[in-house]
Amino acid sequence: MSLDRLWSGWRADYVGSTGTGSGTGSVFTEILGSGLPDDETFIVHRGPTCFVILNAYPYSTGHMLVLPYREVADLEQLNEEESGELWATVTAAVAAVKRSHRPHALNVGINLGASAGGSISQHLHVHVVPRWEGDANFMTAVANTRTLPEPLGETHRRIRSAWTSGTSPQEGTGR
């Protein structure tokens, strides 16, 4: 089977920054230390020990990462407070994206270590990925390429609003 490639040179900055940036840690640690506002870094929630950020290269619209501020690679390295908040924040992230985007289902998971698929394995993060029936489309079937119908800025606005409102889901499918 041959491997098809889609040129995405715009990712070079991101790939080059994972673990090789300023030497201060993961891309997440660098984002936290950047001093940039949350709407520019796409951070949708900050808690005492954990935060939530949109995935810059999402599998689907609304793909979030829940992670501790402290850069650790494994679950057993979390202290009790971080562990409790991490799972509570995953639950809150699921509720927020259900309100903001009304997905048909969600994937929630962790890749522990590079061999498990963790692209930034030195900083533990939990993926929250909204899914819709039929979310594979022509591009996925023919070109093995995902298309995303909403810019990250709009996704950030919708999820952050749903996170703070705690109200019932918005009308429509959200796609």
Q: Is 125 a catalytic residue?
A: yes
- Nearest C-alpha neighbor of 124 from the set 56, 75, 63, 64: 75
Residue among 45, 63, 101, 125 flagged as catalytic: 125
The separation between CA 147 and the C-alpha centre of its own chain, rounded to angstroms, equals 16
Report the catalytic residues: 125
